[in-house]
Amino acid sequence: MMTKIGLPVIAINFKTYPQATGERAVALATTCEKVAKEHAVSIVVAPQIPDLFRVAEAVDIPVFSQHMDAGDPGRFTGHVLGETLVENGVVGTLLNHSENRMLLADVDASVRKADDLGLYTIVCTNNPVVSVAAASIKPSAVAVEPPELIGSGISVSQAQPEIITDTVNMIRDVNKDVAILCGAGISTGTDVKAAIDLGSQGVLLASAVAKSDKPEDVLLGLIEPIIN
């Protein structure tokens, strides 16, 4: 049975940042869990694949993989299989991140496989048109992220708000149920509030939390518009 992810959600991608690798990934996930539980907010973490088991063992909040392939167990060297993710305590996966793009047919196959395994799927997209294509595959969520703003510190919700509103409007024409998230440059509570006001049901971000010397403080700022 698929894990229910509360909305609005703050999804934290650990990427391959050294500050969020190995035991530091566990420490960061534990901080995310602390904030989520103390303030009753929905926070999802996506560590590197080699760190999934140790993080999932350490926290109760949802742990996602950064990628998943569609293949079945067997002769698939180097692939990331859903069955393995489930065995490691993972409840969902990102797909088609701009730093690990997939063919649409492969996204479709991965979403279908994830559905069979009860895994939540967040398909990343780069613009409203691609978002519509992703939504038609019926993942759990679509996260639109203009690649040029990723890691820039310039929030999509502030710099290109029309991307969010256009994505929301166009997706709802083809899929009334999929969760719609946004990302790229999200770093403050003001960014989160703007995203939600524009119709997003959550945000996907990375460096603002994963590279911070004080991730708890950053998280508290991010959730402020959600809890107030």
All domains of the chain, ordered by start, with CATH?
A: 9-227 (3.20.20.70)
- pTM confidence score: 0.95
Average pLDDT, the chain: 92
Q: What is the pLDDT of residue 146?
A: 72
Find the catalytic residue in 38, 39, 79, 97: 97
Look up 145 and say whether it is catalytic. yes
Q: List 124's β-bridge partners, or say none.
A: 143
Of the candidate ranges 141-150, 151-160, 193-202, the one whose mean pLDDT is the lowest: 151-160
Find the catalytic residue in 23, 33, 99, 145: 145
The two structure tokens encoding residue 222 = 């991010």
Q: What is the pLDDT of residue 183?
A: 82
